[in-house]
């Protein structure tokens, strides 16, 4: 194999409002939890089935963190491009090693785009350190989907 690629592309809805934390170096980081769903019809029963996967997203780029904090909320639909990262940490109570797998949005070739159905959403990208908006106003997503998100 000549090289390797670590790239994740997801479209999903936020299951909760974004969590903004301050790191030790004073910079902010955003943590998101988004759901992706797959539905199909059971061949034996004809019943509609659905499976939802939850993904942890971590945004380190300060410009994107500000946009996430200002415009995203539970139920917002987003498109993300990032890298899959697994980190190891120690549980303070049990002392056991724990692992978290996350999609990291940081540096080049990462992006976060707000999707808004029929409205034009704002696109924010880390490509070449540029931040761009597709429209003057960034559309906010209605909360119609709140009932379909399991938490």
Domain layout of the chain by residue ranges: 8-40+48-148
Q: In this structure, what token pair is assigned to residue 55?
A: 């993904």
For 55-114, how does the pLDDT look when each residue is reduced to its tens digit (9 = 90+)?
A: 999 999 888 999 999 999 999 999 999 999 999 988 889 999 999 999 999 988 899 999
Q: Tell the burial category of 110 from Cβ atoms under 10 Å away from its Cβ (0-12, 13-18, 19+).
A: buried
**Mean pLDDT for the stretch of residues 134-151:** 35
What is the CATH code of the structural domain delimited by 8-40+48-148?
2.40.50.140
132, pLDDT greater than 70 = no
pLDDT, averaged across the chain: 80
Residue 107: per-residue pLDDT:
84
Nearest to 13 by CA among 59, 56, 65, 76: 76
C-alpha–C-alpha distance, residues 52 and 38, integer Å = 6
C-alpha–C-alpha distance, residues 128 and 108, integer Å = 6
């Amino acid at each position: 194999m000549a090289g390797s690629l670590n790239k994740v592309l997801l479209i999903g809805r936020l299951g909760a409002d974004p969590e903004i934390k301050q790191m030790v170096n004073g910079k902010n980081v955003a943590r998101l939890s988004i759901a992706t769903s797959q539905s199909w019809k059971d061949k034996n029963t004809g019943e509609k089935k659905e499976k939802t996967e939850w993904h942890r997203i971590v945004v380190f780029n300060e410009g994107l963190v500000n946009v996430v904090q200002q415009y995203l909320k539970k139920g917002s639909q987003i498109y993300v491009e990032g890298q899959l990262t697994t980190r190891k940490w120690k549980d303070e109570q049990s002392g056991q090693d724990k692992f978290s797998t996350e999609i990291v949005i940081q540096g080049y070739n990462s992006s976060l785009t707000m999707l808004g159905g029929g409205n034009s959403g704002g696109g924010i990208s880390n490509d070449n350190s540029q931040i761009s908006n597709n429209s003057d106003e960034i559309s906010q997503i209605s909360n119609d989907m709140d009932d379909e998100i399991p938490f």
